[in-house]
Amino acid sequence: MRLASTLAALLAAGATLGAALPAQAAAPALQIVKIYYDSPGADRRSNASLNAEYVTLLNTTRKAIDLEGWSVRDKTGYTYEFGADAVLGPKKRITLRTGQGSDGTSSVFWNRKQYVWNNDQDTAYVRNATGKLVDSCSYKAASRSAYVTC
């Protein structure tokens, strides 16, 4: 009898402890996984240098995401909006490069002639087609790292 009541008390305590643990937040559907904010070499605005500055996004879901109208922007307000043909498959990544190029399934191009991401600090924001914030990633370059993983 005494063992049964002790066991019941332990189970109740365990249930209480389990309930006290915070729930983990679900990953956003489209997650920023990397910002390469300081392209290698001198910042001379060559297209190769501009394209070495990028943001990589991951579809964390098991379904394709139609990215039409979704946007990526920096703290200053430079904004890239995905077009009608942008569909990201389940668990796939897409890289948004700052410079010019031809969009494909794994990379799209901002088609800018100037850098977007500050070398010292910045924030990237992803918003869905209705404008709702889906994910963000901030960095402050304390060391000479050229990128941040989010």
What is the CB-side half-sphere exposure of residue 95 using CA atoms within 13 A? Answer: 16
pTM of the complete model: 0.82
Structure tokens at 8: 């019941």
Distance CA 117, CA 50 (A): 10
- Is the predicted pLDDT of residue 2 greater than 50, yes or no? no
Query: What is the tens place of the pLDDT at every residue in 54-107?
Result: 999 999 999 999 999 999 999 999 999 999 989 999 999 999 999 999 999 999
**142 band by pLDDT with thresholds 50, 70 and 90:** confident
Name all domains of the chain by residue range, CATH numbers in brackets: 30-149 (2.60.40.1260)
Distance CA 132, CA 115 (A): 25
For residue 42, what pLDDT is reported? 86
For residue 49, what pLDDT is reported? 97
**141 band by pLDDT with thresholds 50, 70 and 90:** confident
- Is the predicted pLDDT of residue 1 greater than 80, yes or no? no
Query: What is the tens place of the pLDDT at every residue in 4-50?
Result: 444 444 444 444 444 444 556 788 999 999 999 999 988 899 999 99
Q: If you average pLDDT over residues 122-146, what whole number do you get?
A: 93
Can you give 51-120 as a three-state secondary structure string?
A: HCCEEEEEECCCCCEECCCCEEEECCCCEEECCCCCEECCCCEEEEECCCCCCCCCEEECCCCCCCCCCC
Distance CA 83, CA 146 (A): 29
- Is the predicted pLDDT of residue 138 greater than 80, yes or no? yes
Edge to edge, what strands does the sheet with 121-127 contain?
A: 79-81, 71-74, 121-127, 133-140
CB 97 within 8 A of CB 54: yes
